[in-house]
């Protein structure tokens, strides 16, 4: 990009704040808004303008990036921003919204004449902070504005189709997330079982190390459990429960039965009821014990 862009970031939680910082680092003018102002205020130190309302944030923006909790939250916030949006503005929708959510958001974009990109991301807090996300994108792939945004927040963009309204990127995201969630519950249960059987977890790690049973997630999520640091959330447990429900709904619509996702939802629900909802999803571990 020769010209810096003006990009409005709506939602500065774990992921949105990191993405806003990387857009600013890439030389773009960034305006951010968050429902709870205290999470957006620190971004001012990174040269990011903090807006008081969604409409104020998107005024004169070339592109808006939504990174909120779920589809209904995005719908609500973009409806508030709508009076200040010009037709032709690019809307990069990165919230994990599920298939019904993505369809509703694409319809909202069409209503306001926005160029819509279904653009969920793979990667969690650390890759988001490092600008190393993988962006899954559906929409016009030659769009220079969208590509400038993706280049600033990600290491790689995987284009899945030419029309954001088809939600092909969201479909791939749900498939990938189902794998992430199975791995997370898997290591949670392995470490709970090891504890119950009096097995040193290191013995398990030594067995799988470097072989076909090894997985980065077994180490990353396992470390949070073993260090007692599940309160350091990269991917919040309640957010992971929301994503599990989106996967189950999409599977049902596609005529597919997912027993592991159902069981995973129950583990997250139980851990959340125990008070672990704001912790990392690795806290699925606690669902194996009565607390």
Sites of contact with ligand NAP (CB under 6 A): 11-16, 34-36, 39, 67-70, 73, 76-77, 95-96, 121, 124, 234-236, 239, 243
Nearest to 92 by CA among 18, 147, 29: 147
Report strand pairing: 121-122 vs 133-138.
antiparallel
- CB nearer to ligand NAP: pick between 13 and 140: 13
CB of 198 to ligand NAP, least distance (A): 33
Q: Measured from the CB atom, is 110 or 126 closer to ligand NAP? A: 126
Query: Is the Cβ of residue 76 or residue 291 nearer to ligand NAP in the bound state?
Result: 76
Residue 13 CB, nearest approach to ligand NAP (Å) = 2
> What number of other Cβ atoms are within 10 A of residue 123's Cβ?
22
- Smallest distance, ligand NAP to C-beta of residue 82, A: 15
What residue is closest to ligand NAP based on CB?
Answer: 13
Minimum CB–partner distance for residue 32 and ligand NAP (Å): 10
Place of tokens 């995201």: 173
With respect to ligand NAP, which residue has the nearer C-beta, 62 or 279? 279
Tell me how far, at minimum, the Cβ of 203 lies from ligand NAP, in Å: 29
Alpha-carbon distance of 274 to 192, in angstroms, equals: 16
Cα Dmax for the chain: 62
Burial 44-70 (b: 16+ CB within 10 A, else e): eeeebbbbeebbebbbebbbbbbbbbb
194 vs 225 by CB, closer to ligand NAP = 225
Residues 63, 146: Cα–Cα separation, whole Å: 8
- Give backbone dihedrals phi and psi of 254, rounded to 5 degrees, phi first: -90, 5
* CB-CB neighbours of 114 under 10 Å: 24
- To the nearest whole angstrom, how small is the minimum distance from the Cβ of residue 211 to ligand NAP? 27
- Nearer to ligand NAP among residue 98 and residue 139 (C-beta): 98
Name the minimum Å distance from CB 121 to ligand NAP: 5
Tokens of 32: 């951010």
Which helix (H) or strand (E) segment holds residue 169: the answer is helix 168-197
Q: Is 180 exposed, middle or buried (0-12, 13-18, 19+ CB in 10 A)?
A: middle
Q: Which is nearer to ligand NAP, 233 or 258 (CB)?
A: 233
């Amino acid at each position: 990009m020769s010209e810096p862009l003006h990009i409005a970031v709506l939602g500065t939680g774990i992921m949105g704040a990191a993405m806003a910082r990387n857009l600013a680092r890439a030389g773009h003018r960034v305006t951010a808004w968050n429902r709870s102002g205290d999470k957006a205020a620190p971004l001012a130190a990174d040269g990011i303008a903090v807006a008081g309302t969604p409409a104020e944030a998107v005024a004169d923006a070339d592109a808006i990036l939504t990174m909120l909790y779920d589809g209904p939250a995005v719908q609500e916030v973009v409806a508030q921003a709508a009076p200040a949006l010009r037709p032709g503005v690019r809307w990069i929708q990165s919230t994990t919204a599920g298939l019904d959510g993505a369809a509703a958001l694409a319809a909202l974009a069409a209503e306001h004449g926005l160029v819509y990109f279904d653009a969920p991301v793979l990667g969690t807090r650390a890759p988001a902070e490092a600008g190393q996300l993988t962006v899954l994108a559906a929409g016009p792939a030659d769009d220079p504005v969208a590509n400038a945004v993706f280049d600033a927040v990600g290491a790689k963009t995987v284009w899945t189709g030419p029309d954001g309204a088809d939600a092909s990127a969201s479909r791939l995201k749900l498939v990938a997330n189902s794998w992430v969630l199975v791995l997370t519950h898997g290591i949670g249960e392995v470490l709970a079982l090891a504890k119950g059987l009096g097995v040193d977890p290191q013995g398990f790690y030594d067995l799988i190390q470097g072989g076909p049973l090894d997985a980065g997630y077994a180490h990353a999520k396992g470390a949070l459990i073993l260090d007692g640091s599940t309160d350091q959330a990269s991917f919040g447990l309640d957010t992971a429960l929301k994503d599990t429900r989106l996967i189950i709904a999409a599977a049902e619509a596609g005529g597919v039965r997912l027993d592991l996702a159902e069981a995973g939802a129950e583990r997250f629900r139980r851990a959340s009821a125990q008070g672990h909802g704001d912790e990392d999803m690795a806290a699925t571990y606690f669902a194996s014990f009565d607390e």
